[in-house]
């Protein structure tokens, strides 16, 4: 194993060992604080265009279980860890993380002080960086910095969305599902059975969707059709879905100008809409709202979000660098439904006089807490009341 280097746009250099591909890459460096779920994180399309730092130091302990992948491949431009496990140990493990990174040609670095790096990103805000196995001189690094600074993720949704429309049928039942009984659920068991047997037809707009969004719907009896990101509103509406799901995805929402126009048309329809993460931001932009880039984002599995109606706090899985500006929400159009307990940022919106509900966090979990999975039930209720009316 040779050396590998991370050169940040402020000139800081971290040196470690090369893992995965030896490819040189410039990307936006972000950190994730999840202690488990590195495979789900690696295969989350929202990380496209970013180099990912795991703050948890021991990665690869339980190997790779293909069924846990959240999409068909790994997406980050690079993967930065403190230590990769020498052997994986788990009854489902089919491969090592070392091989996995090789297979998807993801370059990476192990053996660096990820905590020091994280503090730097926290204090200075998200930075771009160059990941390389070349040892550059000081002067060469100086020359590289403008190029590193110039990097933007760009129109990255196009890279991650599906090529064409398809039916999604996998319920992911080979792994344990969160219990749908008990008092932590909003629906009674009877009501659940009733709604799940309705087999609602859901159109899922794929901006880089994690599989468990579709799986969460399939498990609730829904028939899910996945559409490429640039499908026109007309085409979707023509298929007469009972509900529309706007997925998560990578990049700056404002780059998605075309998509925003189509989302606006979806807003104008009467079809119930549930949106997650990028979908939530796009709906806000489509209805005159604004988004801005956070200093270093929310990425991890421990973020508390408060349901502003009930006062209940849920621990959520999150992955976003942009956020909807709560100051610019037209109170006649939408009202905040969730907010982040730590920093007060917006975590969800309900659209007034509409069957539209959007959240910034990830109720589909994978990785992370399953606490807000009940929101999919809420989506089913929306579809139910709409079809009743």
Residues 6+ apart with CB under 8 A from 216: 363, 364, 373, 376
Nearer to another protein, 125 or 288 (CB): 125
Check residue 183 for interaction with another protein (CB under 8 A).
Answer: yes
Exactly one of 4, 5, 37, 128 binds another protein (CB under 8 A); that residue is 37
Nearer to another protein, 184 or 201 (CB): 184
Check residue 301 for interaction with another protein (CB under 8 A).
Answer: yes
Check residue 313 for interaction with another protein (CB under 8 A).
Answer: yes
Nearest 5 degrees, angle CA 314-CA 318-CA 323?
A: 105
Check residue 309 for interaction with another protein (CB under 8 A).
Answer: no
Beta-bridge mates of residue 25: 131
Residues 116-135 that bind another protein (CB under 8 A): 116, 118-120, 122-124
Check residue 178 for interaction with another protein (CB under 8 A).
Answer: yes
Token code pair at residue 360:
């910034």
Exactly one of 184, 201, 230, 378 binds another protein (CB under 8 A); that residue is 184
Exactly one of 66, 72, 73, 89 binds another protein (CB under 8 A); that residue is 89
Residues 322-361 that bind another protein (CB under 8 A): 341-342
Exactly one of 211, 215, 220, 306 binds another protein (CB under 8 A); that residue is 306
- 222 as an active site residue: the answer is no
Residues 50-69 that bind another protein (CB under 8 A): 55-58, 61-62, 65, 68
Choosing from 222, 256, 277, 366, which is the catalytic residue?
A: 277
Nearer to another protein, 89 or 169 (CB): 89
Token code pair at residue 313:
């706090």
Compute how many other C-beta atoms are within 10 angstroms of the C-beta atom of residue 268.
13
Cis peptide before 367 (omega within 30 of 0): yes
Check residue 171 for interaction with another protein (CB under 8 A).
Answer: no
Nearer to another protein, 81 or 324 (CB): 81
Check residue 319 for interaction with another protein (CB under 8 A).
Answer: no
Span near another protein by CB under 8 A; candidates 49-57, 99-107, 146-154, 275-283: 49-57
Smallest distance, another protein to C-beta of residue 125, A = 10
Smallest distance, another protein to C-beta of residue 85, A = 7
Token code pair at residue 147:
């190029």
| Cα 301 to the center of its chain, rounded Å | 11
Span near another protein by CB under 8 A; candidates 133-141, 239-247, 258-266, 368-376: 368-376
- 277 as an active site residue: the answer is yes
Nearer to another protein, 287 or 340 (CB): 340
Check residue 82 for interaction with another protein (CB under 8 A).
Answer: yes
Look at the alpha carbons of 142, 146, 147, 153 in this order and tell me if their dihedral is positive or negative: positive
- 362 as an active site residue: the answer is yes
Nearer to another protein, 34 or 216 (CB): 34
Nearer to another protein, 21 or 372 (CB): 372
Q: Which residues of 208-224 are buried (b: 16+ CB within 10 A; e: fewer)?
A: bbbbbbbbbbbbbbbeb
Q: Which residues bind another protein (CB under 8 A)?
A: 31, 33-37, 39-40, 55-58, 61-62, 65, 68, 82-83, 85-92, 111, 113-116, 118-120, 122-124, 175-176, 178-179, 181-184, 300-304, 306, 311-315, 341-342, 365-371
State the catalytic residues: 277, 362, 364
């Amino acid at each position: 194993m040779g050396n590998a280097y991370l050169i940040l746009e402020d000139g800081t250099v971290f040196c470690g060992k090369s893992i995965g591909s030896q490819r040189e890459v410039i990307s936006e460096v972000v950190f994730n604080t999840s202690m488990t779920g590195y495979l789900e994180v690696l295969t989350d399309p929202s990380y496209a265009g970013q180099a990912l730092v795991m703050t948890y130091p021991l990665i690869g302990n339980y190997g790779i279980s293909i069924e846990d992948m959240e999409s068909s491949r790994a997406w980050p431009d690079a993967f930065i860890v403190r230590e990769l496990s020498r052997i994986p140990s788990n009854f489902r493990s089919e491969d090592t993380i070392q091989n996995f990174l090789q297979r998807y040609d993801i370059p990476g670095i192990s053996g660096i002080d990820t905590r020091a790096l994280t503090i730097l990103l926290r204090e200075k805000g998200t930075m771009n960086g160059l990941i390389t196995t070349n040892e550059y001189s000081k002067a060469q690094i100086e020359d590289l910095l403008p190029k590193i600074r110039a990097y933007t993720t760009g129109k990255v949704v196009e890279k991650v969305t599906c090529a064409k429309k398809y039916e999604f049928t996998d319920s992911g039942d080979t792994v344990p599902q969160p219990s749908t009984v008990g008092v932590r659920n909003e629906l009674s068991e009877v009501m659940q059975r009733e709604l799940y047997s309705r087999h609602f037809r859901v159109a899922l707009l794929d901006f880089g969707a994690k599989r468990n969004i579709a799986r969460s719907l399939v498990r609730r009896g829904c028939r899910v059709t996945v559409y490429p990101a640039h499908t026109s509103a007309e085409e979707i509406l023509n298929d007469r879905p009972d509900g529309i799901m706007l997925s998560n995805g990578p990049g700056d929402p404002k780059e998605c100008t075309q998509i925003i126009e189509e989302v606006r048309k979806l807003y104008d329809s009467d079809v119930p809409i549930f949106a997650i993460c990028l979908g939530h931001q796009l709906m806000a932009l489509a209805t005159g709202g604004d988004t801005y880039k956070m200093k270093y984002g929310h990425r991890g599995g421990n973020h508390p979000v408060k349901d502003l109606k009930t006062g209940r706090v849920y621990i959520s899985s999150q992955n976003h660098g942009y956020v909807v500006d709560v100051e610019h929400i037209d109170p006649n159009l939408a009202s905040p439904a969730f907010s982040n307990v730590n920093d007060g940022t917006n975590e969800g919106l309900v659209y007034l006089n509409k069957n539209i509900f959007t959240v910034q966090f990830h109720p589909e979990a994978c990785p992370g807490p399953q606490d807000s999975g009940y929101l999919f039930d809420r989506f089913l209720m929306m579809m139910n009341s709409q079809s009743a009316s």
